[in-house]
Amino acid sequence: MDKKNIDWSNLGFGYIKTDKRYVSAYKNGAWDEGQLIEDDMITMSECACVLQYSQTIFEGLKAYTTQDGKIVVFRPDLNAERLANSARRMEMPVFPEDRFVDAVEQVVRANKAFVPPYGTGATLYLRPYMFGINPVIGVKPAEEFQFRIFATPVGPYFKGGAKPITIKVSDFDRAAPHGTGNIKAGLNYAMSLHAIVTAHKEGFDENMYLDAGSRTKVEETGGANFLFVTKDNKIVTPKSDSILPSITRRSLMVVAKEYLGLEVEEREVYFDEVKDFAECGLCGTAAVISPVGKIYDHGNEICFPSGMEEMGPVTKKLYDTLTGIQMGRIEAPKGWIKVID
């Protein structure tokens, strides 16, 4: 299979149009059979529910080329399950989870020429999404929907790749208690746009959001969960009903325990404790594990002992093991890797 002529090693996290995308439409209470199409444009009513009331949800997962040349996808069943949970919360129909996984396979297969070669550091990012498309003017859910998946080859989410980043404690909230922080709804990201633009203008790479109720506990960033390492090498990750249940974070907890023999704790993390941790990282599909070197909090700085040059040693072990599993260098737990023939 000939690959596209792309400078794989220098890709950033951007959109590149690929050959095929998947679409299935929901009408009169049922999903149609779905198909791969070439057209990347979507035509809809000016009054479509997604445009007026943001009824849209999405997912993110990646396809990798392994060391032995196979193309694989990482835990797509968990993305299917999470999209179904997002749909229920947003009054949208569930796209059947087995059909989600099948559609992911179809999109990867149809865009094999865009799957970055092994060793380039790039991957094929898959973006499943669903939105309400019929005209809605009174506030209520749509009755017609589209489920789609497109693919785009990507490099690292943060410019420096594995270089530690600096984040700030945001003055804005991302998700309310009992709100939608625990699902992947577009509205959560719309909420964060002003905050991320503000952080970037001030020279920071990302925001740390605290819990909106008390502003004392660590939640997550705009696109990743937190992992902390204690001075005695325990992995700590925030537990909250208003953060996204990251598949990367859940996988890393297994990797830490089962592969590295580390103790793991998922619990409420008070911001006051953060200064005592030895390492900090952001984890997610796009972020993989991005090390945090410094946190700025209204004039005070927390500088982690791991510094601004390299990932901390435990973060590095987690990173190497997880990416080793994804790229086929390390045996994966059963069911984590789906091979695309």
Supply the residues annotated as catalytic: 184
Binding of residue 181 to ligand COI (CB under 6 A): no
* Binding string, residues 211-230; x marks residues near ligand COI by CB under 6 A: ------------x-------
Q: Which is nearer to ligand COI, 144 or 281 (CB)?
A: 281
Q: Which is nearer to ligand COI, 60 or 135 (CB)?
A: 60
Say if residues 121 and 64 touch (Cβ distance below 8 Å).
no
Say if residues 248 and 283 touch (Cβ distance below 8 Å).
yes
- Sole binder of ligand PLP in the list 247, 269, 280, 288 (CB under 6 A): 247
Q: At what angle do helices 247-254 and 313-326 cross, to 10 degrees?
A: 100
- Sole binder of ligand PLP in the list 144, 220, 279, 304 (CB under 6 A): 220
Binding of residue 285 to ligand PLP (CB under 6 A): yes
Q: What is the CA radius of gyration of the chain?
A: 20
Interacting residues of 334 by C-beta distance below 8 A, sequence separation 6+ = none
- Sole binder of ligand COI in the list 128, 155, 284, 328 (CB under 6 A): 284
| Residue 192, binding choice from ligand PLP, ligand COI, none, Cβ under 5 to 8 Å by partner class | none
- Using CB under 6 A, which of the segments 36-44, 244-252, 324-332, 333-341 binds ligand PLP? 244-252
Q: Which of residues 38-67 bind ligand COI (CB under 6 A)?
A: 60
Which runs of E-coded beta strand occur in the chain?
A: 21-27, 30-31, 35-37, 56-58, 61-65, 71-74, 123-132, 145-154, 165-169, 206-208, 225-229, 235-238, 264-267, 279-284, 288-297, 300-303, 337-340
CA 267-285-144 angle, to 5 degrees, is: 100
Question: Residue 203 carries which side chain, given as an amino acid letter?
Answer: G
Say if residues 71 and 50 touch (Cβ distance below 8 Å).
no
In the complex, least distance from residue 174 CB atom to ligand PLP, rounded to whole angstroms = 8
Binding of residue 141 to ligand COI (CB under 6 A): no
CA dist 283 and 251 (Å) reads 10
In the complex, least distance from residue 221 CB atom to ligand COI, rounded to whole angstroms = 9
Binding of residue 240 to ligand PLP (CB under 6 A): no
User: Tokens 């941790």 correspond to what residue?
Assistant: 277
Positions in the binding site for ligand PLP (CB under 6 A): 60, 220, 223-225, 244, 246-249, 284-285
Positions in the binding site for ligand COI (CB under 6 A): 60, 223, 284-286
